[in-house]
Amino acid sequence: MIFNERMTAKMDSDFVVFLIGMRINHPLRVRRWYSVVSAMGRMLEELYANPDLGFVHHESGMGRTILQVQYWRSLNQLMSYAKARDSEHLPAWRAFNKTIAKDQTVGIWHETYVIKRGQHESIYQNMPPFGLGRVGELVPATGHRDTAMGRMDVKP
């Protein structure tokens, strides 16, 4: 469903935005970088199958640099997943460090942001539910939500 009207995402609690990605530095070394891509696929399957881990949703963009935006309920849940010995993440991280980290085939990165309730804003128009709009409640961007400052409840 595409919403023609201007919409914004309403969030009733704190949340975490986790940006993670990889950059393919040597595109012809498919055997080297494909393992990193496939490991992320296994992690996403695991996360969606186990909502109690705290993962909520993701969006991805692909090119030479692959970007994934993930939404988590809390920083503690994200960190617990990253360190869990029985998760897909730890073996993939170890394999990367053992086999690929030093040869420059693939660069990896991530950034983590803890967002306090009310300290975010979003706008969507002519869009289906996307990003934070799939995580929170989509509401019309009218009244006090008509401007970015209003959506963040900031007084001029």
Domains of the chain are 15-115 (3.30.70.100)
Amino acid (one-letter) located at 112? T
Provide mean pLDDT across the span 9-36. 93
Decide if pLDDT at 18 tops 70.
Answer: yes
DSSP states of 50-77 as a string? Answer: -GGGSEEEEEEE-SSEEEEEEEES-HHH
Interval 92-104: pLDDT, tens: 999 999 988 888 9
pLDDT at 99: 87
pLDDT at 156: 66
Provide mean pLDDT across the span 3-12. 95
Amino acid (one-letter) located at 85? R
Asked if residues 35 and 21 have their Cβ atoms less than 8 Å apart, the reply is no
Provide mean pLDDT across the span 53-59. 98
What is the value of pTM for the model shown? 0.92
